[in-house]
Amino acid sequence: MKKQFLFSVVVMVFCCVLTAQSASAQTPPPLLLQQPAPVPLPPGNVAAPAVPGLIPAPPAPAGSGIPVVRAVPAAALLQNLQQAIATARKLNRLLRPGKVWISRGPSGEIEMKAGILYQGIAVGVLRINPENGSILPLGIIPCRSETAVGVQSVKGALQSAFNRLKILPYAEFIEPESCWSFPLVLDGSIVARVKIYFDGVHVMQDAATNREMLFYGR
């Protein structure tokens, strides 16, 4: 009788451990909302002059969330790397396509972008080829003065692309933001980056992209 009781206790403990591990694996990573950096005004608080051919930036939203720190000891960072990799792996099933928008660069070139969403917040951005609506590798910006594809057609094709997106489990550390940066790949090319806070736990909002998307996105 005593052996049966001990066996039952061991089984119960083992089941509890498995349940806890399963719940931990299914729990989505928490999101870190960054404090937007204040935009400095010229002397006398006079608005900066408009740049020809450049769409003015939308107003910065009110700050919220945890401010990003500036310096963390190297030993503490390295201890968090494996956790950051595990967090990035979880995101592979959780990223969603966001709104699409068009803006104009300093030289008049068309820039088409799409937000990468996590929990409804932009955590990255995809750059779209305005000639055919394809997703561009990082570093390529077509020099076009007009777009040949519509926003709606690009939005319709994004879900298929997101089904093929994958975060690689290889990171670099971005010191000014105290975060791990992971490449997001599509069909053999790096198309975006997703950032995990230095603690390896929190997914970081892309504040600039989120502001653009909310202001211009359709």
| Intervals of the chain under pLDDT 70 | 1-25, 34-71
3: in domain: no
Report how many domains make up the chain: 1
Q: What pLDDT digit, counting tens, does each position of 107-158 carry?
A: 778 899 999 999 999 999 999 999 999 999 999 988 777 887 889 999 999 9
36: in domain: no
Alpha helices in the chain (DSSP H): 2-26, 74-79, 81-91, 151-162, 207-216
Domain containing residue 76: 69-216
Angle at CA of residue 28, ends 172 and 197, nearest 5° = 30
Residue 172: per-residue pLDDT:
96
132: in domain: yes
Residue 62: per-residue pLDDT:
43
Residue 98: per-residue pLDDT:
96
The model's pTM: 0.74
Question: Per the structure block, which two tokens stand in for 40?
Answer: 């400095």
- Total H helices, total E strands in the chain: 5, 9
Nearest to 205 by CA among 36, 71, 38, 70: 36
Residue 80: per-residue pLDDT:
95
